[in-house]
């Protein structure tokens, strides 16, 4: 290290020692206050998240109900076809049964949707009063 570098090093070291004497210390309970605020915010955020809409997914419900309907209809068609031949598929009797099954499933789907809507309304009302 040449003399110029050595002088600069000494100057820097002097500055460092001087300036470090003026470093402030946070208040004694500062870290406690900060962590309290963070924990409180985290708790409030978690509560807001869980009180959101319950896990109702119209797509999975619709898929499962209509999926079941198609499965039942397919089973009916297959049974009728293999037992009585394809002529029976176009008879009014058979078509009536298919229609009945379809209407039954659609009614069930509508009831499920209405019940889900009522449940959500109830939950929202419950949150407002908390």
> Which of residues 7, 10, 15, 81 is near another protein by CB under 8 A?
15
Tell me: does residue 27 bind another protein (CB under 8 A). yes
The residues in 37-76 that bind another protein, with binding defined as CB under 8 A, are: 37-39, 41-42
3-state secondary structure of 52: coil
DSSP secondary structure letters along 102-123: HHHHHHHHHHHHHHHHHHHHHH
> Which of residues 34, 44, 100, 103 is near another protein by CB under 8 A?
34
Cβ 52 to another protein shortest distance, Å: 19
DSSP state of 86: G
DSSP state of 91: S
Q: Are 94 and 80 in contact (CB under 8 A)?
A: yes
Token pair for 126: 């419950």
Tell me: does residue 7 bind another protein (CB under 8 A). no
Nearer to another protein, 26 or 128 (CB): 26
> Which of residues 16, 52, 125, 129 is near another protein by CB under 8 A?
16
Tell me: does residue 29 bind another protein (CB under 8 A). no
Token pair for 100: 């009945």
Nearer to another protein, 5 or 93 (CB): 5
> Which of residues 1, 3, 19, 128 is near another protein by CB under 8 A?
19
| Residue 68: partners with Cβ closer than 8 Å, 6 or more residues away | 105
């Amino acid at each position: 290290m040449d003399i110029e570098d050595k002088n600069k090093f000494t100057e820097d070291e002097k500055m460092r020692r001087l300036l470090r004497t003026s470093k402030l210390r946070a208040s004694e309970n500062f870290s406690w206050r900060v962590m309290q605020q963070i924990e409180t915010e985290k708790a409030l955020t978690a509560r807001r998240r869980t009180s959101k809409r319950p896990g109702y997914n119209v797509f999975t419900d619709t898929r499962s109900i209509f999926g079941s309907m198609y499965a039942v209809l397919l089973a009916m068609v297959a049974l009728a076809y293999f037992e009585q031949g394809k002529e029976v598929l176009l008879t009014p009797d058979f078509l009536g049964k298919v229609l009945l099954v379809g209407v039954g499933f659609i009614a069930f789907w509508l009831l499920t949707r209405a019940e889900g809507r009522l449940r959500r309304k109830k939950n929202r009302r419950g949150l407002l009063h908390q």
